[in-house]
Homo-oligomer: A and B are copies of this chain.
Amino acid sequence: MAARLSEPQPLLALVEALRRLPGVGERTASRMAYHLLQHDLQGAQHLGRALSEAVSRLRHCDQCNSFTEATLCGTCQHPERDSSLLCIVETPADQNSIEATHGYSGLYYVLMGRLAPLEGMGPAELDFDRALARATNGFVKEVILATSFTAEGETTAHYLSEALRSKGLKVTRLARGVPAGSELEYVDAGTVAWALMERKPT
Decide if B36 touches A31 in the complex (CB within 8 Å). Answer: no
Decide if B14 touches A53 in the complex (CB within 8 Å). Answer: yes
Decide if B44 touches A51 in the complex (CB within 8 Å). Answer: yes
Q: Is residue A18 contacting chain B, with contact meaning CB distance below 8 A?
A: yes
Q: Is residue A67 contacting chain B, with contact meaning CB distance below 8 A?
A: yes
Question: Which of A13, A16, A21, A112 counts the most B-chain CB atoms under 10 A from its CB?
Answer: A21
Report how far A172 CA is from B58 CA in the complex, Å: 56
User: A interface, how many residues as a size bin?
Assistant: 35 or more
Q: Is residue A118 contacting chain B, with contact meaning CB distance below 8 A?
A: no
Decide if A54 touches B23 in the complex (CB within 8 Å). Answer: no
8 Å CB contacts to B: which residues of A50-64?
Answer: 50-55, 57-58
8 Å CB contacts to B: which residues of A31-60?
Answer: 31-38, 40-41, 43-55, 57-58
Q: Is residue A74 contacting chain B, with contact meaning CB distance below 8 A?
A: yes
Q: How far is the CB of A25 from chain B (nearest CB, A)?
A: 12
* Residue in B closest to A103 when the chains form the complex, CB atoms: B1
6 contacts between A and B (CB under 8 A): A1-B102, A20-B36, A20-B46, A34-B91, A37-B54, A37-B55
Interface residues of A (CB under 8 A from B): 1-11, 13-14, 16-18, 20-23, 28, 30-38, 40-41, 43-55, 57-58, 66-69, 73-75, 78, 91-93, 96, 99-100, 102, 104-105, 112-113
